[in-house]
Structure 1
């Protein structure tokens, strides 16, 4: 009986177990289906992420190639071919007046030719701030191509027409183009970038700018003239952030220049923007480029090697800027600016010492050259690569257009002042001329140390809150 009962019990257990097994199989099948669905969803998300990332970087690269690249090219193409430009001046002068052009006249015309690019840039900044509000960022960049073509036309036919004035006019128009595109590209890049890679995306501008500088130097050679990408799999949050930013922009009116200058809520942001705009030029880097041939001649370099020496400067700057583009999201902006300006201040002291002691040792010119290269590295790793990104990040949308215009004016006017005054400073101070830039760089480093907060991976509102204590005002959320 016990055995029969056991059999019955076993049968009953088997009877009760079969439905449970079936349920477990159904749950397993459903789980497998869910896993397949999740896997498909992850694959679709990854593909979507890859498409968005490729589109973002493609937009950044294409837009900067049509703007920053040309700005860098025009910045150096005349300076790197200064020998031929001076010959053009003399030939034209002889044809007109039957005599050689004087040294003082050459210096004046050359200074105007170089510096008028900056005047055009300042005016272009004003024009650009108007166009970006009426046409938008992208269409402003497209319209600006027409200005570029006009500049090419004037400079291209200047020699055939026997008119160095046309070269100067072409330089002015190319400055207009550079100033206009500078406003548009800064706003375009900052507004298409998620905050976590904003620095890297905005770094495409200085990288492409330096690429243009190198090309301008290459074309000045005698033989010719005679990032770290993202790996996150989900960008939906950042895309929503950009879409939300775009939605807010539709209902926000931009603040005029007059109002932003009187607005206490952005007072210190404007001061920082102007310091960065002027500091980028008054740090002395453009003086090295504008008058590099004269500087290396004074250092007793072989005349035939000078164009290649100048080209190496551009190459070093390009490489340094590319490296910054890959690490800016790790290091932050603030430290790069402070170390950049501080390093340049120290190196200007070393450069001055080597210039004063040029005749004391045969190897001293090479130490001077090494100092110049080191200055280039620190500038490209700090002020040159980061300034425009920081300025774009300092302001919420309603202030951004006017603020970048003021930054642009400060940048171009300081560029003009430097181009006009450096030859005379060099004649007056001789080997001690770079001490002026040493003082400016040291002052900028100290100022940024105490005033500039870190902007890495912060929203525009969070950055504004960082300045509320300095401005002594509560934060007004305009976005």
Structure 2
């Protein structure tokens, strides 16, 4: 793809990179608590002992630590509820800057928790940071998609997942005992995400607001024109994009409420697509492996934590692969490839788990299958599940759709974190068969119901759903689904 065709400018790149610093923070605090967990649990126990002159029971300590870990995902669920109000009231870029305050305050509370001897401050900090996660993981792709040229929209939206995966890897590395995951330095480790948080305030104020928001939400054509000109660097693409936005505005009603969003006829098929793709992605096994890979590898490898770093590295590498393939292979093809490989990997994990205890040398095969599953997830289902909602809805429904997708994503993560340990204890390796079923559901649904959105404008995509109860995906001349 020629650079001239996609009108790639320095300001466009800076705007995208400035926005995805938020997902870097989210990933960092997803990956940094596993390695130093025992040290932080001891802080909880010591704080309790200093207050009440008694130690916490093992059960109480486990419960308290589980609360402090899972409360981030719970906060993310709550944060998702505010996406529409912020995005439509203050704009996409300004909303990212507003919610960044939650990250600053939340992380600051976590950092000072040791100094003030308050594990409550750490838990409250993770809750506030969770609110930030739920908001920013919707606002980022929303802003990125709306400032990007159509031919680079999917690739740039994938950068949100690249940043998230990079944050996870950085968190894993910083949490190692040989790095900052020590009794003396774990608060320093938590504080590092303040760097990208502060950096956003030096970058984003100089980046333009979403031109689509300015024109379609606020009716400010001159400001939209100026923002587009800054982003594209040439008046030629600006005229074409403005005409496309005006065409969408002509088909879009003044506003869409939450209740109307779920009742609107033209939204029914996109809602079902977002629901199925997100749940199939989140419940296909990736999150269980990210959370419990060290525990999976530990019985067969002494240095399991370094294999977990390998999981993080593979995660980053294949988000980058997805970035380069997104506009060549298309969303639909990457979803199909990703889901079917994930299904096969889960089947193999079930087989390996049933024999690895008697043949420990097969532990290396388990590692390879895990790496393959992570690769397949990040090749398609992972990044696409976060931004597909933004492509399937018109401007008035897009912010609610992104909030809905965020709730499904974080809800799936929370559900898996809550249910996977007891399910694993009851049925062991057969739990991977449940993930396999979810991946197969994702594959079948994608084959029959998910259209290709690569290279299509927002209005062209929305046009296919207007007035249609069921999208005729078999009609190649209509939605170009199979190309």
> d(CA) in 2 for partners of 1:257 and 1:464?
18
- Highest Rg: 1 or 2? 1
More helix by share: 1
Moved more, 90-99 or 113-122: 90-99
Match of 2:219 in 1: none
Q: 1:185 to 1:252 in 2, by over 3 A?
A: farther
Contact 2:110 2:122 in 1 (8 A): yes
Matched, 1:158 2:113: yes
> d(CA) in 1 for partners of 2:387 and 2:24?
17
Q: 1:310 to 1:411 in 2, by over 3 A?
A: same
Q: Secondary structure at the match of 1:300?
A: coil
- Aligned residue-pair number: 419
Contact 2:155 2:324 in 1 (8 A): yes
Q: 1:50 to 1:472 in 2, by over 3 A?
A: closer
Match of 2:293 in 1: 292
1:13-162 → structure 2 map (5 Å cutoff): 52-65=8-21, 67-162=22-117
Contact 2:300 2:360 in 1 (8 A): no
> d(CA) in 2 for partners of 1:473 and 1:199?
22
> d(CA) in 1 for partners of 2:6 and 2:270?
36
Contact 2:265 2:467 in 1 (8 A): no
Which digits, 9 at most, give the CA deviation of each residue in 1:419-470, with x for residues without a partner?
1122211221222222221111111111111110111001223323444696
Q: 1:235 to 1:452 in 2, by over 3 A?
A: farther
Match of 1:434 in 2: 432
Match of 1:197 in 2: 152
Matched, 1:206 2:152: no
What TM-score, normalized by structure 2, do the two folds share?
Answer: 0.81
Q: 1:71 to 1:252 in 2, by over 3 A?
A: farther
> d(CA) in 2 for partners of 1:182 and 1:341?
22
Q: 1:81 to 1:280 in 2, by over 3 A?
A: farther
Shift of 1:237: 5.3
1:388-467 → structure 2 map (5 Å cutoff): 388-467=386-465
Calculate the aligned-residue CA RMSD, in Å.
2.6
Q: 1:158 to 1:346 in 2, by over 3 A?
A: same
Contact 1:111 1:419 in 2 (8 A): no
> d(CA) in 1 for partners of 2:350 and 2:334?
24
Shift of 1:285: 1.2
> d(CA) in 1 for partners of 2:154 and 2:6?
19
Shift of 1:276: 2.6
> d(CA) in 1 for partners of 2:293 and 2:156?
31
> d(CA) in 1 for partners of 2:296 and 2:434?
16
Question: Unpaired runs of 5+ in structure 2?
Answer: 183-231, 473-483
What TM-score, normalized by structure 1, do the two folds share?
Answer: 0.81
Q: 1:422 to 1:267 in 2, by over 3 A?
A: same
Question: Unpaired runs of 5+ in structure 1?
Answer: 1-45, 227-232, 475-479
Q: 1:357 to 1:90 in 2, by over 3 A?
A: farther
Q: 1:78 to 1:242 in 2, by over 3 A?
A: farther
Matched, 1:259 2:215: no
Moved more, 463-472 or 138-147: 463-472
Match of 2:177 in 1: 222
Q: 1:458 to 1:167 in 2, by over 3 A?
A: same
> d(CA) in 2 for partners of 1:409 and 1:300?
36
